[in-house]
Amino acid sequence: MYFRKIGVLSAVCAAAIALAPAAAAAPGPRAACPDAGPDVLRCLTTFTPGATRALADGPVGWGADDLVSAYRLPGAAGPATVVGISIAYDAPDLEADLATYRAQYGLPPCTSADGCFRKVNQQGAATPLPAADFGWALESTLDVSMVSAACPSCRIVVVEGNTPGFADLAETEDTAVRLGAKVVSNSYGAREGGAPLAFASHYRHPGVTVVASSGDFGFTSASYPANLATTVAVGGTSLARNPDSPRGWEEQAWSYGGSGCSAYIAKPKWQKDTHCGKRTIADVSAVADSVAIHNTDAGGWLPVNGTSASAPFIAGLYGRSGRAGVAQPADLYARASQFVDITAGNNDPVGGGAKCGSDYLCVAAPGYDAPTGVGVPDGLGGF
């Protein structure tokens, strides 16, 4: 099968089995993509098997209208920026699932017929497409849905790699740029090291903004390609309604959102935190918990989680801002006051922050912190 429980959840489920065997029958969240070992990138989506709802029953989880409200996005249509999605394997129902999502939330159609949507292989051709894979297809569905929620006017080019290997996904990055993408979203990651860093140049393109998920495993080794100084590293939050808040919403660091201190990448001059001598991730964040998508193979509407939701959403906001390609990671820090600072939560679900000594590297705090970066969007001013 395609699935493997993430470590923390496996431990929790094991304890539950010991205490209450009858309760263990209910499925828990599972990783959409397996940990395939070295030299392979992993998509960063989790979902709960059996949590789907039929089309007639509608979505469960945060939808496009919720995100527009939470992040105070403008009502006016934005530019037709091309947003690239770098991904592995084929998602056969991707265009149909995107159409269902956009129709549900009143977004304009985005199809291959009208030129808004395009899906190609890693060389940029319409055929042959790579083999299909359920987990990566779920990831692709999430990516295009979140770009659409953030930027309904953006055009989308999905470049599918033959495998999730470093070389193949590096080529998808280059192809997306060659096909006109001004911002490229990467909802995958691997533990940083010498092997992935050999492909770092593929995530550095003049005139293009590159965005990547920070990871879904809490405070740990920095995730590639989010660790690169040329990449906007996007962490995750949990979102909730709060009528007493000026926004009408509140957020805290998502329990599993990735953060880390690089062992390889030098400290960028625009990053001023002091407890990490090299590159710290993340830079910025957005919702990564309970996001609604429609996926045919999964059976309909379902909620999914992961910084693979927040990264394409931020990529879409870059596209909508009109500054895609011009904007780079340093700009987020220069415009930190234009984001909503997240000061609650941590990404150490077992220790509550003990993993990093309750430091800003894994605990949300006033100002910059690693799980949520400079904060979450408050309109488009920060981009």
Task: Answer whether 87's CB lies under 8 Å from 161's CB.
Answer: yes
Q: Residue 14: its pLDDT value, please?
A: 38
Residue boundaries of the structural domains of the chain: 37-377
Task: Answer whether 317's CB lies under 8 Å from 383's CB.
Answer: yes
Q: Residue 16: its pLDDT value, please?
A: 36
Class of the CATH-defined domain 37-377: alpha beta
Query: What does the H/E/C string look like for the chain?
Result: CCCECCHHHHHHHHHHHHHCHHHHHCCCCEECCCCCCCCECEECCEECCCCCECHHHCCCCECHHHHHHHCCCCCCCCCCCEEEEEEECECCCHHHHHHHHHHHCCCCCCCCCCCCEEEEECCCCCCCCCCECHHHHHHHHHHHHHHHHHCCCCEEEEEEECCCEHHHHHHHHHHHHHCCCCEEEECEEEECCHHHHCCHHHHCCCCCEEEEECCCCCECCCEECCCCCCEEEEEEEEEEECCCCCCCEEEEECCCCCEEEEEEEECCCCCCCCCCCEEEECCEEEECCCEEEEECCCCEEEEEECHHHHHHHHHHHHHHHCCCCCCCHHHHHHCHHHEECCCCEECCCCCCCHHHCCCCCCECCCCCECCCECCEECCCCCC
pLDDT tens digit string along 66-98? 999 999 999 888 999 999 999 999 999 999 999
pLDDT tens digit string along 263-306? 999 999 999 999 999 999 999 999 999 999 999 999 999 999 99
Q: Residue 27: its pLDDT value, please?
A: 56
pTM attached to this predicted model: 0.92
Q: Which residues of the chain have pLDDT under 50?
A: 1-26
Q: Residue 23: its pLDDT value, please?
A: 39
